[in-house]
Structure 1
Amino acid sequence: MASVLVLGSGVIGTSIAYYAAKAGHQVTVVDRQPGPALETSFANAGEVSPGYSSPWAGPGVPVKAIQWMLMKHSPLVIWPLLDPAMWRWGLRMLANCTEKAYALNKSRMVPIAEYSRDCLKALRAETGIAYDDRAMGTLQLFRTQKQVDGTAKDIEVLKQYGVPYEVLDPAGFVKVEPALRLTRDKFVGALRLPGDETGDCQLFTTRLADMAKALGVRFHFGTRIDGIEHDGRQVTGVRTSAGTLVADRYVAALGSFTPQMVRPLGLRLPVYPIKGYSITVPITDPAGAPESTVMDETHKVAVTRLGDRIRVGGTAEIAGYSLALREPRRETLTHVVTDLFPTGGDVSKASFWCGLRPMTPDGTPLVGPTSVPNLLLATGHGTLGWTMAAGTGRVIADLISGRQPEISLDGLTLSRYR
């Protein structure tokens, strides 16, 4: 069995560590934070949503982007920077805004998302891991008939991949989400994906890290990664604030920071940070709160019940690596949750957070081998890191073990950009 060094202890890195240790490997994880899941995995929207595994780049998106930026509560904000990587990424994304590219990218994303949900279910059944999880589906709410009509193409794709769905009128969506009875007149209909799940990603990752430790995984928290050493052919070690760490196989799972780390190896990753925001609201009226996840299609904001809290997540801000908490983003999230569930929670006591989603221009993650023989990638999951985490962990563990993964890696590896 191999010694494995995983760079990053977010939900992706921790999942890899768990599955690799379960396969019998000697695993070490290194992360600059004092514990697992304290960056992008910390306070995301909470959705495990294979049904929403779609690339952002698609037909009509450039026009929609202009319309969004003119909205008061915009789902998209761009801060133009003198950053060549931002502009290269943006141009590549625009090149993917075609029917053909959308269909291809979706066909690559759905299998790993569906596989990951199955892996998560199996993990839950095997270990009993609990993380404020619910398996009650996702409800996408439409404020206009035009939005309802626009779901036709999405429904075609759902049928193609065998994803269960329901088209609901107001009476139908109130049966699923009773608290919407107070605001049902604001919406004309909904699309429900009953196979989707929800859960607290940070809680899941923390508990999975404990399970990984019980399997022998060593975590080096509070440890800065300074660089990757190589001999021109393969990785020979990783320089850290705790000294140089050496292993047989290395896995780069550093989210948006992966490109800088692997660049000295001659690898160019088209991954760029897209900032997302969330607020976490204590529930004051359980009957007035969501049962599962409700997505406001107009504002692209998800409202999710996590135990005794409501997590409200969304917006896409292209602003480089800035982690500035901008008040207008909080106002958008507050507007959506109070517009949908006015009695559900106390927004005056909400905590405010942001994280950097590692996005590829085609929406598909980078999972699998590279041209460096002993280096594997697990990054670029964008908004779907929580959705794809368990499947990514299992795939990487299989590759380390020399086993054929249970899903095809075609279109998931860095080779698609050559």
Structure 2
Amino acid sequence: MKIFVLGGGVIGVTTAYFLAEAGHQVTVIDRQKGPALETSFANAGEISPGYASPWAGPGVPLKAIKWLLMKHGPLVVRPTLDPHMWIWLVKMLRNCTTERYALNKARMVPLAEYSRDTLKALREATGIAYDERAKGTLQLFRTQQQLDGTSGDVEVLKSYGVSYEILDPDGCIAAEPGLAGVREKFVGGLRLPGDETGDCKMFTDRMAELCVARGVTFEYDVSIRRIIRNRNRIANISTSKGWRAADAYVMAMGSYSAGFMRQLKRPIPVYPVKGYSITVPIKDAAVAPVSTVMDETYKVAITRLGDRIRVGGTAEISGFDLELHESRRRTLEHSVGDLFPGSGDMRAATFWCGLRPMTPDGPPLIGRTEFSNLYLNTGHGTLGWTMACGSAKVLADIISSRVPDIDVRDLGPERYVK
């Protein structure tokens, strides 16, 4: 089939790769001048199936109030008049129950685990390199209360067979020697040895090259203006360079997918939640992180990417605003400077933000829509890099009329109709 993939981030490009592998004629269309120049550009770098959890969970509404009052809190809400923001927030609050949290996590973990395994197979088959490391994730607890509160997380990890380690300060330092100089600032940690790290932008660039070698066409600097339906099918699309038509279409435009689905009168509850990062050149490798350290207090991920440290965090609900707020930068600098002092050159750090496409319940949207030739691969939130390969492989199987390796029947848009 002739297939248009709408969106050139990590989700879109990886989807194009697996569609090409399945024998389809694929074109990727993106408004930027190259791949992965929006949300995939400078994310936290984590591939963390063990942390594949919904944001909506029991206790979150009360925690949100505390986070909003913190100086370096992980949550920021900048209210707008956009009704879609408030509808999304209400739906998210409805998912903050024990029952829904368990259901939504059960939909996310298998996909995240499958995605990591798919990435490993891809790496072995192609030799793709992207400053990758397979040295686990350390969730670092600054207080005894945080450490004592891990019992629920541990039970969930056990139920899904995810390897984990509960570490005292000595164990944390053994995993991350750079923490030795700040031993007094934490009481322990939860380590997930199966997690990986890598540069998402570098990966997507290399994947685009692999796609081209397999016959995929990339059309950059092309904006999609309208999607035209004809009864239960998509007939064609209007772009900044004219009308285009294909046999099938994949919507992989992240947060911007929602606007086009509303245009088609088939809304999906995907809303942007802004995240920030700084990328810091390493100044002293001996005191820099080895892999990823999650600063539980500030919900900040500190990740080693080659000769750089990527520090990512914040959940800012402010619509499609891309303004870089200096207060968010100070939070990221505070976390990495407090745990890994002297490791990086803060004066040379670059500051970035991106819009994560979030669903109110947590799992992404993968599968066919009510239109017979329109498919979704969006709504991955903070887990786009973690779930990219698995989501792409699953969708390529669905489009190719093959049975996916995992059950993804509950990831389609029809779950909201139910």
Structure 2 counterpart of 1:364, one-letter code? P
Aligned residue in 1 for 2:322 = 323
Query: Is 1:249 the equivalent of 2:245?
Result: no
Query: Is 1:36 the equivalent of 2:32?
Result: no
Aligned residue in 1 for 2:286 = 287
The more displaced of 132-141 and 256-265 is 256-265
Aligned partners of 1:262 and 1:7: how far apart in 2?
Answer: 13
Structure 1 counterpart of 2:409, one-letter code? D
Structure 2 counterpart of 1:141, one-letter code? L
- Paired residues of 2:232 and 2:370 also in contact (CA < 8 A): no
Aligned residue in 2 for 1:133 = 132
Aligned partners of 2:266 and 2:311: how far apart in 1?
Answer: 36
Structure 1 counterpart of 2:17, one-letter code? Y
Q: Secondary structure at the match of 1:183?
A: helix
Deviations 1:174-225 (A, max 9, x none): 0000000011210000000000000000000000000000000000000011
Deviations 1:285-324 (A, max 9, x none): 0111000000000000000000000000000100000000
The more displaced of 237-246 and 118-127 is 237-246
Aligned partners of 2:120 and 2:227: how far apart in 1?
Answer: 35
Structure 1 counterpart of 2:197, one-letter code? T
Aligned partners of 2:305 and 2:48: how far apart in 1?
Answer: 15
Q: Secondary structure at the match of 2:410?
A: coil
Q: Secondary structure at the match of 2:409?
A: coil
The more displaced of 141-150 and 300-309 is 141-150
Query: Is 1:17 the equivalent of 2:12?
Result: no
Gaps of 5+ in 1: none
Gaps of 5+ in 2: none
For residue 396 of structure 1, report the CA deviation from its aligned partner. 1.1
For residue 229 of structure 1, report the CA deviation from its aligned partner. 1.1
Aligned residue in 1 for 2:123 = 124
Deviations 1:24-76 (A, max 9, x none): 10000000000000000000000000000000000100000000111100100
- Paired residues of 2:92 and 2:360 also in contact (CA < 8 A): yes
For residue 265 of structure 1, report the CA deviation from its aligned partner. 2.0
Aligned partners of 1:147 and 1:411: how far apart in 2?
Answer: 32
Aligned partners of 1:271 and 1:263: how far apart in 2?
Answer: 11
Aligned partners of 1:170 and 1:188: how far apart in 2?
Answer: 6
Structure 1 counterpart of 2:188, one-letter code? G
Aligned partners of 1:239 and 1:398: how far apart in 2?
Answer: 27
Q: Secondary structure at the match of 2:310?
A: strand
Aligned residue in 2 for 1:258 = 257
Mapping of residues 175-190 of structure 1, within 5 Å = 175-190=174-189
For residue 244 of structure 1, report the CA deviation from its aligned partner. 1.4
Mapping of residues 136-155 of structure 1, within 5 Å = 136-155=135-154
- Report the TM-score, using the length of structure 2 for normalisation: 0.99
> Once superposed, what is the RMSD of the aligned Cα atoms?
0.6
Aligned partners of 2:410 and 2:297: how far apart in 1?
Answer: 31
Aligned partners of 2:409 and 2:24: how far apart in 1?
Answer: 26
Aligned residue in 1 for 2:166 = 167
The more displaced of 303-312 and 238-247 is 238-247
Aligned residue in 1 for 2:276 = 277
For residue 232 of structure 1, report the CA deviation from its aligned partner. 2.2
Aligned partners of 2:76 and 2:262: how far apart in 1?
Answer: 28
For residue 410 of structure 1, report the CA deviation from its aligned partner. 2.6
Structure 1 counterpart of 2:404, one-letter code? P
Aligned residue in 2 for 1:156 = 155
Aligned partners of 1:50 and 1:414: how far apart in 2?
Answer: 22
Q: Secondary structure at the match of 1:411?
A: helix
Aligned residue in 2 for 1:107 = 106
Aligned partners of 1:151 and 1:368: how far apart in 2?
Answer: 34
Aligned partners of 1:184 and 1:201: how far apart in 2?
Answer: 31
Deviant stretches of 4+, over 6 Å? none
For residue 252 of structure 1, report the CA deviation from its aligned partner. 0.1
